[in-house]
């Protein structure tokens, strides 16, 4: 992303001029496939637009502050996931923050933790944070590989690309809205991908997902800033998306 030049004309309309605070939750436990990079992506996209940013890592054993603007949770193995869920259930910070409108993005294990409950491969059921109406059980086959999911216009309308590696199959409840519809890969396991409730998003896409999907990154930032951030041209990201989307089944059908 080095091609972008910082923009420092201060034209964002966030009324609160303090730095945007991005919480990176339990990076010592969750964060397979460089999921921690999602916090870096948000910080750089803000910095290049002249918005001050702080990334706040919250490690296992530290209380989760309720005062942050965004919270990122990465993926992890079942044991790490169960440990992280227990820790986050015991600390009220994330729930308090979402109640006052903070933005949350959970990836894979992080997504499952945000749901009502998840069952790990050892058949133990764990209580989730109940921020998304979703429940996860082990599927019959592990889902591994590239994913493309189409999202509607209210979520930016740009197809999402990412990489999945999970055993869990996630079913959304009546209050669960999918983030998108898979046209390549598995996602939740029923043709849908991820979940959304208010400003809380869960997705199976690693990548890190925000590096591969700038429209999603800017959607999260627009929720924090109160206005869509100005466009940012990153030719290498455009090229990455072109290459990844070339293998989308819909794209292939459209060309044949
Ligand atoms: N342990 C979970 C599963 O296998 C999540 C995996 C992940 O975060 N990559 O479903």
pTM: 0.91
69-102 pLDDT, tens digit each: 999 999 999 999 999 999 999 999 999 999 999 9
Buried b / exposed e along 4-16 (16+ C-beta atoms within 10 A)? beebeeeebebee
List the CATH code of the domain at 7-255. 3.40.50.880
Q: How many Å from the N-terminal Cα to the C-terminal Cα in the chain? A: 33
Atom 5 of ligand 1, nearest CA residue: 109
| The pLDDT value given to residue 18 | 84
Write out residues in the chain with pLDDT < 50, as ranges.
Answer: 1-12, 251-256
The CA–CA distances, whole Å, from 13 to 45, 51, 55, 225, 255 equal 16, 10, 21, 7, 42
| The pLDDT value given to residue 14 | 60
| The pLDDT value given to residue 24 | 98
Which residues are known to be catalytic? Answer: 108, 206
Residue 162: CB within 6 Å of ligand 1?
no
| The pLDDT value given to residue 73 | 98
Residue 167: CB within 6 Å of ligand 1?
yes
| The pLDDT value given to residue 15 | 57
| The pLDDT value given to residue 16 | 62
| The pLDDT value given to residue 247 | 72
| The pLDDT value given to residue 54 | 97
Alpha carbon distance 236, 241 (integer Å): 9
CB 114 within 8 A of CB 134: yes
| The pLDDT value given to residue 17 | 63
**Domains of the chain, residue spans:** 7-255
Candidate from 36, 81, 115 with most ligand 1 atoms within 8 A of CB, to mutate: 81
9-34 pLDDT, tens digit each: 334 456 566 899 999 999 999 998 89
Residue 139: CB within 6 Å of ligand 1?
no
């Amino acid at each position: 992303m080095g091609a972008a030049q910082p923009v420092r004309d201060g034209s964002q309309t966030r009324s609160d001029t303090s730095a945007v605070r991005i919480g990176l939750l339990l990076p010592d436990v969750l964060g397979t496939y460089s999921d921690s990079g999602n916090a870096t992506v948000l910080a750089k996209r803000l910095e290049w637009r002249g918005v001050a940013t702080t990334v706040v890592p919250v490690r296992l054993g530290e209380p989760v502050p309720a005062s942050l603007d965004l919270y990122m949770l990465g993926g992890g193995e079942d044991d790490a996931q169960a440990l992280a869920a227990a820790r986050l259930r015991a600390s009220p910070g994330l729930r308090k923050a979402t109640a006052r409108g903070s933005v949350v993005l959970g990836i894979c294990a992080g997504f499952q933790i945000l749901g009502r409950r998840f069952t790990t491969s050892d058949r133990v059921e764990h209580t989730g944070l109940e921020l998304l109406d979703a429940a996860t059980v082990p599927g019959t086959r592990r889902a591994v590989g590239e994913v493309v999911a189409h999202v509607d216009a209210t979520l930016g309308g740009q197809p999402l690309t990412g990489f999945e590696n999970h055993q869990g199959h996630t079913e959304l409840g009546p209050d669960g809205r999918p983030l998108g519809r898979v046209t390549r890969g598995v996602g939740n396991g029923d043709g849908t991908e991820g979940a959304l409730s208010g400003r809380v998003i869960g997705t199976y896409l690693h990548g890190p997902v925000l590096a591969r999907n700038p429209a999603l990154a800017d959607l999260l930032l627009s929720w924090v800033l109160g206005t869509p951030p100005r466009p940012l041209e990153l030719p290498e990201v455009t090229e990455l998306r072109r290459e990844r989307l070339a293998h989308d089944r819909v794209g292939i059908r459209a060309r044949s």
